[in-house]
Amino acid sequence: MREKRGWAFWLAVSIIKPTLLATTRRTWVDPERIPAEGGCVLVMNHLSHVDPLTAAHLVYDYGRLPHYLAKAGLWKNKALGRFLDAAGQIPVERERGGAGAYGKAVKAVREGRLIVVYPEATITRDPDLWPMRGKSGAARIALETACPVIPVGQWGAQEILPPYAKRPRLFPRRRITMRVGEPVPLDDLRDGPVTTEVVTEATDRIMAAITRQLELIREADAPAERYDMRVHGDRFKKRKDRS
């Protein structure tokens, strides 16, 4: 059974979709791999703050409603908070480790919703914009619910709004390419206890699947070692501190 579109989705679509149609060109590869119904997790690489809008365009056009794990600070604005609640978005309290968001995401998947997760949890710091080391949230949701995990590689959003840029580059129209992969194979990891090792393996498979889709888009090979901010640092930190 398809999820009903409430007023928040109708309002968002009426504003966002015409804007994206006017300012982007789209190449979507294998979008039919997005499940037509049922709970699932769609995982993507993170290039720009406009990623959720371009991802929503893909998901919505193929019959699903996207639900995101979003920073809880967005709910501080009461009007925006009401809108986000009406659209079924999930607030994440990072200071508390996101435990509450995890439970809500699991519940949403079990209710048949599509959850969009950026496993990197922030815009990539890799100098060539390859996916970084992933966080475990998507893997834990998938292992808990046994839902499909659909990897998507995407490219082009960074041309609209580079990291921490203040003004978008809307013209000339930018090409957004999204390539949807086959579900990440995780069934063998669901047979036993969900240990740290199992979650790590699931996360590695998820990131490898996303990276493979991006390699196909870019027709290039990703680095053998994935960028890790704990090891390599945050090359955007000075820029953020000045803003």
Spatial separation of the C-alpha atoms in residues 33 and 47, rounded to whole Å? 22
Structure tokens of 143?
């292992």
Domain of 189, in residue numbers: 27-61+112-242
In a domain, 78, yes or no: no
In a domain, 48, yes or no: yes
In a domain, 133, yes or no: yes
CA angle 154, 159, 165 (to 5 degrees): 115
How do the pLDDT tens digits run along the chain, 243 residues long? 467 778 888 899 999 999 999 999 999 999 999 999 999 999 999 999 999 999 999 999 998 999 998 888 888 888 888 988 888 898 887 655 556 788 999 999 999 999 999 999 899 999 999 999 999 999 999 999 999 999 999 999 999 999 878 899 988 999 999 999 999 999 999 888 999 999 999 999 999 999 999 999 999 999 999 999 999 888 776 555 555
Edge-to-edge strands, sheet with 90-92: 24-29, 174-180, 149-155, 40-44, 114-117, 66-71, 90-92
φ, ψ for residue 88, nearest 5 deg: 75, 30
Q: Taking Cα atoms as reference points, which of 123, 126, 130 lies closest to residue 220?
A: 130
In a domain, 103, yes or no: no
In a domain, 10, yes or no: no
Upper half-sphere CA count for residue 183 (Cβ side, 13 Å): 13
In a domain, 101, yes or no: no
149-155 and 174-180 strand pairing = antiparallel
Q: State the total domains in the chain.
A: 1
**Cβ atoms of residues 115 and 41 within 8 Å:** yes
**Cβ atoms of residues 8 and 116 within 8 Å:** no
In a domain, 98, yes or no: no
Beta strands in 21-132 (DSSP E): 24-29, 40-44, 66-71, 90-92, 114-117
In a domain, 185, yes or no: yes
